[in-house]
Structure 1
Amino acid sequence: MATVFSLKGRGLKLDTAADVEPLINGIDPSKLEEIHLEGNTIGVDASQALAAFISQATNIKIANFADIFTGRLISEIPQALSALCDALVDKTSLVEIDLSDNAFGGRSVDPIVPLLTKNRVFQILKLNNNGLGPAGGSVIAGALLESAQLSKAAGTPSNLRTVICGRNRLENGSAGVWAQAFGAHGGLKEVRMPQNGIRMEGIIELAKGLAKNPTLESIDFQDNAFTVGEDLAGIKAWSEALSSWPELHTLNLSDCIISTEGEVPSLLTALVGGSNPKLKKLQLQNNNLETESFKLLAGVIGTTLKNIQRLELQWNEVEEDDEHIETLGDSLKQRGGKLIATEEDEEEDEQEEGEEETAEEEIKKEAPVVAEAIKEENKEPSVKEEDTSTDDLIAKLSEVKI
């Protein structure tokens, strides 16, 4: 039996329980491990009907509720969200919660709090592009902090491993609470908070909180400000924090102003000094880096940075025919890696990525329900039909007279 229930991308407008009934009719929720509702618009009554269904999904691992309130009144969202989130509170199998691309703002986040504080088994939280702002961000971070404190009081380690909260205008107003929450959990592996308008003071706090997570493997803080004018305190804080993450393999600090006047940033010095020997992907585009920085990288690309497979340096002060850029490109190419240093490199890379998309991925984009059906059909061929064919053959053979 299929373990996935998906309405992904169908563009349904579900207002009432009657709208939901034909979609869930005949499905045993206790068998489901994944529920995907994203890409539809769901009203209060429909959410409550779906919540009743979800409450019976005792084996649910993935709850994808992204982009489900488009066109809904702000007064509708808290009630609908509360019903759906409350249905997940007691799910001991839950691994991933995705509430991205829903315009909560700071006004509609409270219904999420009980889920984040009471269900302490989930590992992955995705809240991307929700317009949280500093107030809403503080509420979410506060709930995660309380969750960590409750786990500690119960003598159990935190299960939280991934937090994705980009494009939310979190700013400095919520950075302190986020830093406390990250530090309290202590076992994070991935943190992605790009495009949040966090300035240097908040960046410093976050460096301290994240430094308490030695298990971190992936960090994305693209498009936040690490410096103010000539003040490099944010860079210094992150330079010191780098050695706290020995498992780090991905670091995205593009568009973060890590160099103000083209100087070689201390953060780069720490990286080439071997602070993160397992680093595979380093993104530093649009950071005012100049030839001296490229020279520094080129000098160690075969030693302390020998595991780098992808290096992004576009939109810096790259001079034409820079020998250091050439060295970096050749070294990465020899090991099967890639350097993105110019607009042309970026365009070529995007084209290659497009060409590598599989037919199955294309189907999923256009018709996820059909794709899932195909996937399940391929995985679980119909034994009943095969048995019937075999029985018919035996019957025919028995009629043959020799």
Structure 2
Amino acid sequence: MASDDISQLADALSKTHVGDELSYKGLGLKLDNADSVKELVCEIKQYQGLRALRLEGNTVGVEAAQAIAKALETKDLLQRCYWSDMFTGRLRSEIPTALRFLGGALMSAGTRLTELDLSDNAFGPDGVKGIEQLLKSPSCHTLRELRLNNCGMGIGGGKILAEALMESHRQSSALGTPLRLRIFVAGRNRLENEGARALAKAFQLMGSLEEVHMPQNGINYPGVVALASAMRHNPELQVLNFNDNTFTKKGTLAMAQALRHLRNVQVINFGDCLVRSEGAIALAAVLREGLPILKELNLSFGEITEAAALVVAQAVMDKSHMEKVDMNGNCLGEEGCEALREAMENKDKGDMLASLSDDEGEPDDEDEEDGDDDDVEEEEEEEEEEEDATGGSDDENDEYGGVEKENGMARQQDSPVKAQSPPEVVSFLSCPSTEKLLQLGDMRTNLHVDSSEPHEAADAFLKVASLYSEDPEIKTAVLETTDGVLKKLLSGSALHSYSFLSVLLVRMGLLKGEGKVKKALLVSGHLLCLEHAVQQEYFPQHHASLLHIFLSKKDEALKSCSDASERLSSAVEKRSLERH
């Protein structure tokens, strides 16, 4: 080590004491061997009561790490290790060895760590092996914050990390003090679905997480569903950051279902996750019925259209703790951006809305499926097939886990309608006619439609409503039947009812859906049955507001039924303006 480097280190060491912390942060030192860290080692040895050690922003070789480790073997009070960005320029093969030396010293000293930060060290799966024994040891049974951002762990590293955390939890639980990790950070690690699934098992086992940051990991639907299942088992969660992964509708529904179980969430970052409009509506449902202390919501760059964004805006209006809503980079169009701003400002929430400067503009034709969307759907279908072949999702309690497999994927072998309905009902729904409907008698008020099957439910409603006629007997039979269907579907949780309404809007051509969705041939009966429904007590005011938003944005889709459309629009507008 050059004499001027030694002088620089000596100078820095004289200023590193801050309370119980010793810091060499950002000195940019190249520490290759034992001689280069002689002063540093001396300082560590002499520091009584050392509880925090900062080594980030330097580059540490194997021999230097060994010398530092030797000095740490007596530092049993050490709790916080800030060791990010400390292997720049080192061979990847060197890093695991250096980490083993440092970890071994902590174990020898009998430390009880609360924080470990190894972010920005591109050590890959082998680097995770370098800290594997440390993570399993009693030194990490007390760990509260683990930061491994931008480490290139990959799928293999994610699996090793997950197993180490689970083993640490098992061992610590056996001793009566289970591992209670609060903050987990692992963005930009290429974990993908397999790594995410492995970590989800660890998260579910611990159940103690308060913050999870996993942006930019190449995770899509199967991995998102596994993570969602794990999140619902962590009731103290406050921050969820999955920015720049690929949710699509299916992953968003799973996350929405998980959020129903969480009361302490303050920050949700699902930006750049392809949440899309149907997913945004599902999240709006959860916002309406839960998440009481939410402060920040990021749904930017999610291919969300204007009407869905307005539904989200409505849902956040009454959140007293809300500070920021980010809907930038979506597909609102110039008029949509203005409508969103106006909606927020009308409720004195204009300051809450983030910039909309990167809006992608209204889609040219929402009725055409985007080619890229189909690619994403096909990719997810292949992964779902693999998942089914290996035993399916880990989330046995996910209410959407087995029923949202559309676009070529098999649904459950027996749909709820077919499995539970009398033969007459099955016959009617298979080939609906007014004669069959009238013959059902009292059975028509209870078609056994399952609220957790939004596609089946929407299909049943549309089939019945298509038979609408001004003939008094037929009209009464149709309205009694649709009332029975809607009363059941809209009386449950907001998530179930919003999911049903979004599917219904897709089938009616009022909302763009994902994949190849078969749209119904829109007839006046569909709209007139809804007109009747929105005037009934069972139809919530906020559901009428949702319909009002979409009807006002989709004049083209309703042109074929203009009279019925005007009647429905008038009814939903009147109902949506009613006071709660």
Bin for the TM-score computed over the shorter chain: 0.7 to 0.9
Name the structure with the higher helix share: 2
1:322-360 deviation per Cα after TM superposition (whole angstroms, max 9, x unaligned): 2232332565657xx532132389xxxxxxxxxxxxxxx
Cα distance change, pair 48–285 in 1 and its aligned pair in 2 (3 A): same
1:24-44 deviation per Cα after TM superposition (whole angstroms, max 9, x unaligned): 434523322211101111111
Matched, 1:107 2:139: no
What's the counterpart of residue 15 of structure 1?
32
Superposed displacement of residue 285, structure 1: 0.4
Aligned with residue 309 of structure 1, among 323, 327, 338? 323
Q: Is the 8 A contact 1:52 1:87 kept in 2?
A: yes
| In structure 2, C-alpha distance between the alignment counterparts of 1:319 and 1:91, rounded to whole Å | 60
1:210-251 deviation per Cα after TM superposition (whole angstroms, max 9, x unaligned): 211011111100111112xxxx32222111100221100011
**SS of aligned partner of 1:212:** coil
**Mapping 1:316-331, distance limit 5 Å:** 316-321=330-335, 322-328=338-344, 331=347
What's the counterpart of residue 129 of structure 1?
150
1:155-213 deviation per Cα after TM superposition (whole angstroms, max 9, x unaligned): 32322111100000000121221111000001111111000001101111111112110
Q: Is the 8 A contact 2:81 2:116 kept in 1?
A: yes
Superposed displacement of residue 318, structure 1: 2.8
The share of aligned pairs that are identical, in percent, is: 38
Q: Extract unaligned runs of 5+ from structure 2.
A: 1-16, 360-580
1:333-389 deviation per Cα after TM superposition (whole angstroms, max 9, x unaligned): 57xx532132389xxxxxxxxxxxxxxxxxxxxxxxxxxxxxxxxxxxxxxxxxxxx
Q: Is the 8 A contact 1:223 1:255 kept in 2?
A: yes
Aligned with residue 258 of structure 2, among 237, 241, 253? 241
**SS of aligned partner of 2:106:** coil
| In structure 2, C-alpha distance between the alignment counterparts of 1:12 and 1:92, rounded to whole Å | 26
Letter in 1 for 2:233: K
What's the counterpart of residue 275 of structure 1?
290
What's the counterpart of residue 365 of structure 1?
none
**Mapping 1:184-333, distance limit 5 Å:** 184-227=205-248, 232-259=249-276, 262-263=277-278, 265-303=280-318, 305-321=319-335, 322-328=338-344, 331=347
Q: Is the 8 A contact 1:329 1:339 kept in 2?
A: no
| In structure 2, C-alpha distance between the alignment counterparts of 1:287 and 1:325, rounded to whole Å | 18
- Higher mean displacement: 319-328 or 163-172: 319-328
- Higher mean displacement: 85-94 or 145-154: 85-94
Letter in 1 for 2:190: R
Cα distance change, pair 268–67 in 1 and its aligned pair in 2 (3 A): same
What's the counterpart of residue 370 of structure 2?
none
Matched, 1:153 2:182: no
Superposed displacement of residue 108, structure 1: 2.6
What's the counterpart of residue 49 of structure 2?
31
What's the counterpart of residue 40 of structure 1?
58
Q: Is the 8 A contact 1:186 1:212 kept in 2?
A: yes
**SS of aligned partner of 1:88:** helix
Matched, 1:81 2:99: yes
Cα distance change, pair 26–158 in 1 and its aligned pair in 2 (3 A): closer
Q: Is the 8 A contact 2:281 2:312 kept in 1?
A: no
- Higher mean displacement: 289-298 or 13-22: 289-298
Aligned with residue 194 of structure 2, among 148, 173, 177? 173
Letter in 1 for 2:301: N
Cα distance change, pair 329–57 in 1 and its aligned pair in 2 (3 A): farther
What's the counterpart of residue 387 of structure 1?
none
**SS of aligned partner of 1:31:** coil
Cα distance change, pair 29–332 in 1 and its aligned pair in 2 (3 A): farther
Q: Is the 8 A contact 1:283 1:311 kept in 2?
A: yes
| In structure 2, C-alpha distance between the alignment counterparts of 1:203 and 1:51, rounded to whole Å | 39
| Count of paired positions | 336
**SS of aligned partner of 1:102:** coil
What's the counterpart of residue 385 of structure 2?
none
CA RMSD of aligned residues (A): 2.0
Superposed displacement of residue 56, structure 1: 2.5
Q: Is the 8 A contact 1:315 1:341 kept in 2?
A: no
Cα distance change, pair 308–191 in 1 and its aligned pair in 2 (3 A): same
| In structure 2, C-alpha distance between the alignment counterparts of 1:233 and 1:66, rounded to whole Å | 35
Q: Is the 8 A contact 1:6 1:36 kept in 2?
A: yes
Q: Extract unaligned runs of 5+ from structure 1.
A: 346-402
**SS of aligned partner of 2:48:** helix
| In structure 2, C-alpha distance between the alignment counterparts of 1:159 and 1:233, rounded to whole Å | 30
Letter in 2 for 1:131: G
TM-score, scaled relative to structure 1: 0.79
**SS of aligned partner of 1:63:** strand
**SS of aligned partner of 1:35:** strand
| In structure 1, C-alpha distance between the alignment counterparts of 2:97 and 2:86, rounded to whole Å | 13
Superposed displacement of residue 63, structure 1: 0.3
| In structure 2, C-alpha distance between the alignment counterparts of 1:134 and 1:117, rounded to whole Å | 19
| In structure 1, C-alpha distance between the alignment counterparts of 2:273 and 2:80, rounded to whole Å | 33
Q: Is the 8 A contact 2:158 2:195 kept in 1?
A: yes
1:32-67 deviation per Cα after TM superposition (whole angstroms, max 9, x unaligned): 221110111111110011112222222222201111
Superposed displacement of residue 84, structure 1: 1.2
Cα distance change, pair 31–219 in 1 and its aligned pair in 2 (3 A): same
What's the counterpart of residue 357 of structure 2?
343
**SS of aligned partner of 1:267:** helix
Cα distance change, pair 33–8 in 1 and its aligned pair in 2 (3 A): same
| In structure 2, C-alpha distance between the alignment counterparts of 1:91 and 1:124, rounded to whole Å | 18
What's the counterpart of residue 575 of structure 2?
none
